[in-house]
């Protein structure tokens, strides 16, 4: 008789792109390496590296300069004019389709 093959699950890590048997899967279906001995610090933890990179990106975005009230008012006025123009175009297209 032939022996049954053992199934080895080693998915690819979404952070370091290596296959590893020790892994965790997040709620967003992302897979990360996690090599750890119970009771000790992990030797390889891609999930924490991923989270730290996300935090650093958020901090960089938070440091962007703020827009003054005058600039904001000008931008809002431009946006409203653009919306009005789009509505007029849509109305003209609808009128053509009824004829």
Q: Read off the pLDDT of residues 10-46 as tens digits, 9 standing for 90 and up.
A: 899 999 999 988 999 999 999 999 999 889 999 999 9
At 8 the pLDDT is 75
Stretch 43-70: mean pLDDT: 87
Backbone φ and ψ of 11, nearest 5°: -70, 165
Task: Please give the pLDDT value at position 92.
Answer: 92
Mean pLDDT to the nearest integer, 38-62: 88
State the pLDDT at residue 1.
73
pLDDT at 60 over 80: no
pLDDT at 96: 86
The structure tokens listed for 50 are 């991923």
Compute φ and ψ for 4, nearest 5 degrees: -75, 140
Whole-structure pTM value: 0.55
Could you give the CA distance from residue 43 to residue 26 in angstroms, rounded to a whole number? 19
């Amino acid at each position: 008789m032939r022996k049954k093959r053992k199934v080895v699950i080693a998915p690819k890590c979404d952070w370091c792109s290596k296959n590893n048997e020790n892994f965790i899967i997040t709620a967003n279906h992302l897979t990360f390496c996690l090599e750890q001995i119970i009771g000790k610090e992990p030797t390889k933890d891609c999930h924490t590296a991923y989270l730290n990179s996300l935090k650093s990106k958020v901090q960089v975005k938070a440091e962007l300069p703020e827009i003054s009230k005058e600039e904001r008012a000008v931008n809002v006025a431009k946006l409203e004019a653009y919306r009005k123009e789009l509505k007029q175009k849509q109305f003209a297209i609808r009128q053509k389709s009824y004829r």
